[in-house]
Structure 1
Amino acid sequence: MAKLGLFLLIVALSNQTSLACNDNKAEQLPGTRRELNDYWVDSYGFPPPSLTPLYYHEASPPEAAISYQGRSSLNQPNHKANPFKNYFINKNADGKASGRFALGGLRASLINTGLFNNRFTPANTFRPLQGLGNKTPVALNPNFDSLLTTFDGCTAPNGESGICAPGNICSLFGGRPSGSCILGKVCCINVVPSCGGTASLNNTHWQSPAVLSAPSTCTLTVKLDATFVEQKKPICQLRLDFISFTTSQPTAGTCTDTFQISGSTNTAPIICGDNNGQHMYLDVPSSLNGPTNVRLMFNFAAGTGNSPRTWNIKIAMLPCGANYLAPRDCLQYFTSATGIIRSFNWRDIAGVATRQLNNQNYNICFRTEEIDGQIANRICLTPCTITNGGDAFSITSLPGNLANSAVGTTGPNPLPPPVATVAVCLYDFLLIAQGTNPINGLVADRFCGNQLNPIPAGAAVSVTVCTRIRPFKLTYQTDNTEGAVFANNQGIIIPAFGDAGNVGFCLDFQQRIN
Structure 2
Amino acid sequence: MSTFYVLLSVVLMLQVCRACDGNNEEQQLAAARQQSDEYFANAYGFNPSPWGSAYYQPSARVSGYANPYEGRTPLNRQPNYNPFKKYFTNTNADEENNQVEGRFALGGLGANLINTGLFNNRFTPANTWRPFSSLTNRIPISLNPDYNSPLANFDACTSPSGDAGICAPGSVCSLFGGRPSGSCILGKVCCINAITTCGGTVTLNNTYWQSPSTAVSAPSTCALTVRMDTKLVEQLARPICQIRLDFISFTTNQPTAGTCTDTFMVGGSTSTVPVICGDNSGQHMYLDVPSSATTPTDVQLMFNFAAGAATRSWNIKIAMLPCGATYLAPVDCLQYFTSATGKVKSFNWQDVSSTAIRQLNNQKYNICFRTELVSGSKAAQTCLTVCTPTSGGDPFSLTRTEALAAQVSAVSATDNAGVAICLYDFLLIAGGTDPATGSAAERYCGGRLNPAPAGAVAATGGPTTDVTVCTAIRPFRMTYQTDNTEGAVLIGNGILIAADADGVGTTDSPGNVGFCLDFQEK
Q: Please classify the TM superposition score into its range, dividing by the shorter chain length.
A: 0.7 to 0.9
Output the CA distance in 2 between the equivalents of 1:187 and 1:11: 43
Q: 8 Å contact 2:396–2:516 — kept in the other structure?
A: yes
Give the structure 2 partner of residue 224 of structure 1: 228
Is the CA contact 2:80–2:149 (under 8 Å) kept in the aligned structure 1? no
Q: Which deviations, in whole Å up to 9, do the C-alpha atoms of 1:368-393 show, x marking residues without a partner?
A: 01110111111000000122111100
SS of the residue corresponding to residue 186 of structure 2 reads helix
User: How far apart are residue 290 of structure 1 and its match?
Assistant: 2.9
* One-letter amino acid of the counterpart of residue 512, structure 2: N
CA contact (8 A) 2:40 2:47 kept: no
Aligned residue in 1 for 2:126: none
Q: Deviations over 1:323-359 (max 9, x none)?
A: 1100000000001000000000001111210001111
1:277 paired residue number: 282
Aligned match of 2:33: none
Query: RMSD between aligned alpha carbons?
Result: 3.2
- Work out whether residues 414 and 421 of structure 2, in 8 Å CA contact, stay in contact via their aligned partners in 1: no
| Partner amino acid, structure 2, of 1:503 | V
Q: Please report the TM-score for the alignment, with normalisation by the length of structure 2.
A: 0.72
Answering whether residue 293 of structure 2 is matched by residue 288 of structure 1, we say yes
In the alignment, does 2:219 pair up with 1:215? yes
Aligned length: 408
- The answer to whether 1:511 aligns with 2:508 is no
**How does 1:393-432 map onto structure 2 within 5 Å?**
393-399=396-402, 401=403, 404-407=404-407, 408-410=409-411, 414=415, 420-432=417-429
- Equivalent residue letter for 1:173: F
Measured after TM superposition, the shift of residue 128 of structure 1 is 7.1
Amino acid of the structure 1 residue aligned with 2:336: Y
Matched, 1:313 2:310: no
* CA positional deviation for 1:4: 3.8
Aligned residue number for residue 192 of structure 2? 189
For 2:159 and 2:53, locate their aligned partners in 1 and report how far apart those are by CA, in whole Å: 36
Which one of the candidate residues 362, 366, 373 is aligned to 1:363? 366
Tell me the residue number matched to 1:39.
none
Q: 2:468 aligned with 1:464, yes or no?
A: yes
Query: What code does the residue aligned with 1:470 have?
Result: R
Whole-Å Cα distance in 1 between the matches of residues 207 and 222 of structure 2?
Answer: 17
Within-5 A mapping of 1:327-346: 327-346=330-349
On the 8 A contact 1:369/1:375 being kept in 2, the answer is yes
Question: What letter matches 1:426 in structure 2?
Answer: L
Letter in 2 for 1:167: G
Task: Encode CA deviations 1:200-224: one digit per residue, 9 max, x unaligned.
Answer: 1110000000121111111111110
Q: Which has the higher contact order (CA 8 A, sep 6+)?
A: 1
Other structure's SS at 1:317 match = strand
CA distance in 2, matches of 1:214, 1:24: 61
Give the Cα separation in 1 of the matches to 2:72 and 2:197: 38
Do the aligned partners of residues 301 and 125 (structure 1) sit closer, same or farther apart at CA in structure 2, a change above 3 Å counting?
farther
Amino acid at match of 1:436: T
Q: 1:299-343 deviations in whole A, cap 9, x for unaligned? A: 0011x3x32111110011111011110000000000100000000
Residue 453 of structure 1: CA displacement? 0.3
Structure 1 pair 209–146 and aligned structure 2 pair: CA distance change class (3 A): closer
Which of residues 374, 378, 398 in structure 2 aligns to 1:375? 378
Structure 1, unaligned stretches of length 5 or more? 16-20, 31-76, 86-111, 133-140
2:484 corresponds to? 480
1:252 aligns to 2:253 (yes or no): no
Q: Deviations over 1:265-285 (max 9, x none)?
A: 111111000000000000000
Partner in structure 1 of residue 248 of structure 2: 243
The one-letter code matched in structure 1 to 2:152 is: L
Whole-Å separation in 1 of the counterparts to 2:138 and 2:375:
54
Deviations 1:389-443 (A, max 9, x none): 11100111213x4xx443341467656xxxx221210000000001000001011
Secondary structure at 2:429's aligned position in 1? strand
> Which secondary structure state, in structure 2, belongs to the residue aligned with residue 280 of structure 1?
strand
**1:387-398 equivalences in 2 (<5 Å):** 387-398=390-401
Q: Secondary structure of the residue that 2:172 maps to in structure 1?
A: helix
Q: Give the 5 Å matches for 1:168-183.
A: 168-183=171-186
The separation in 2 between residues aligned to 1:143 and 1:441, in whole angstroms, is: 64
Contact 2:255 2:278 (8 Å CA) reproduced = yes
Contact 2:286 2:335 in 1 (8 A): yes
Check the 8 A contact 2:40/2:46 in 1, yes or no: no
Correspondence 1:70-149 to 2 at 5 A: 79=81, 82=84, 143-145=147-149, 147-149=151-153
Q: Secondary structure at the match of 1:183?
A: helix
Rg comparison, structure with higher value? 2
Residue 119 of structure 2 is matched in structure 1 by none
Match of 2:29 in 1: none
Query: SS where residue 170 of structure 1 aligns?
Result: helix
CA–CA distance in 2 between the matches of 1:194 and 1:216? 13
What CA distance in whole angstroms lies between the structure 2 residues aligned with 1:248 and 1:313? 17
Q: 1:444 to 1:84 in 2, by over 3 A?
A: farther
The reply to whether residue 446 of structure 1 matches residue 431 of structure 2 is no
Query: Equivalent of 2:502, from 472, 491, 499?
Result: 499
Number of the residue aligned with 1:100: none
Contact 1:83–1:227 (Cα < 8 Å) also in 2: no
CA distance in 2, matches of 1:495, 1:363: 25
SS at match of 2:431: strand
Check the 8 A contact 1:431/1:445 in 2, yes or no.
yes
Tell me if 1:384 matches 2:387: yes
Q: Any idea what SS the aligned residue of 1:148 has?
A: coil
- 1:319/1:251 CA distance change after superposition, 3 Å: same
Give the equivalent residue in structure 2 for 1:298: 303
User: Following superposition, which runs of at least 4 residues in structure 1 exceed 6 angstroms of deviation?
Assistant: 11-15, 21-25
Separation (CA, whole Å) in 1 of partners of 2:86 and 2:349: 45
CA contact (8 A) 1:397 1:424 kept: no
| TM-score in terms of structure 1 length | 0.73
- Quickly say closer, same or farther: Cα 1:422–1:26, change in 2 above 3 A: farther
**1:95 match:** none
Cα distance change of structure 1 residues 467 and 84 upon mapping to structure 2, 3 Å threshold: farther
Q: CA, structure 1 residues 198+446, in 2 after alignment: closer, same or farther (shift >3 Å)?
A: same
The answer to whether 1:349 aligns with 2:352 is yes
User: Taking structure 1 as reference, are residues 6 and 267 closer, same or farther at Cα in structure 2, changes over 3 Å only?
Assistant: farther
Q: What is the Cα deviation at residue 22 of structure 1?
A: 9.6
TM-superposition CA deviations, 1:121-147 (whole Å, max 9, x none): xxx876775699xxxxxxxx9952464
Q: Which amino acid is the alignment partner of residue 390 of structure 1?
A: G
2 CA distance for matches of 1:261 and 1:429?
A: 23
Q: Equivalent residue of 1:443, what SS?
A: coil
CA contact (8 A) 1:83 1:228 kept: no
The question of whether the paired residues in 2 share the 8 Å contact of 1:83 and 1:229 is answered with no
